[in-house]
């Protein structure tokens, strides 16, 4: 029997009910960057396959990969790689039952974001 005092509330928590928190956003971003890295890997494999196919085909693919759009995709992939690595370390810390309190979890989240941007910039300067 349904509770008549329930009001007009959803039956279960939903994205529209809760304000996004840094910890949830960074967790979702970890999943997104993991999937994006698979696409970047496919782009890299395509480039290698083109190099082993023919000079003409490689010129076409290399033109795409080294274009402005290709550079943006590769730079975003570099950031995703650093972010995903730092988020993985963060989750290893969580798996050891450390840093689970909200202030520490938020600091680790900001460390993942800031650290990934900083490491991306350092990598771009070195390259």
Question: Which 8-state DSSP code applies to residue 99?
Answer: S
> Residue 69 in contact with residue 110, Cβ under 8 Å?
no
**Alpha helix ranges (H) inside 54-101:** 55-65, 68-95
84 has binding-site annotation: yes
- Number of other CB atoms surrounding residue 50 within 10 Å: 19
Per the annotation, where are the binding residues for heme? 84
Per the annotation, where are the binding residues? 84
């Amino acid at each position: 029997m349904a509770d008549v005092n329930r009001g007009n509330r959803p039956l279960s928590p939903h994205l529209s009910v809760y304000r996004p928190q840094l910890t949830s956003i960074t967790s979702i971003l970890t999943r997104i960057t993991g999937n994006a890295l698979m696409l970047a890997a496919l782009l890299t494999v395509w480039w290698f396959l083109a190099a082993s196919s023919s000079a003409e085909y490689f010129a076409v693919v290399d033109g795409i990969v080294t274009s402005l759009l290709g550079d943006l995709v590769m730079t975003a992939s570099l950031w995703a790689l650093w972010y995903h690595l730092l988020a993985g370390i963060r989750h290893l810390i969580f798996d050891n039952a450390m840093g689970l309190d909200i202030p520490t979890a938020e600091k680790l989240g900001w460390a993942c974001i800031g650290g990934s941007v900083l490491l991306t910039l350092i990598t771009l300067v070195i390259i």
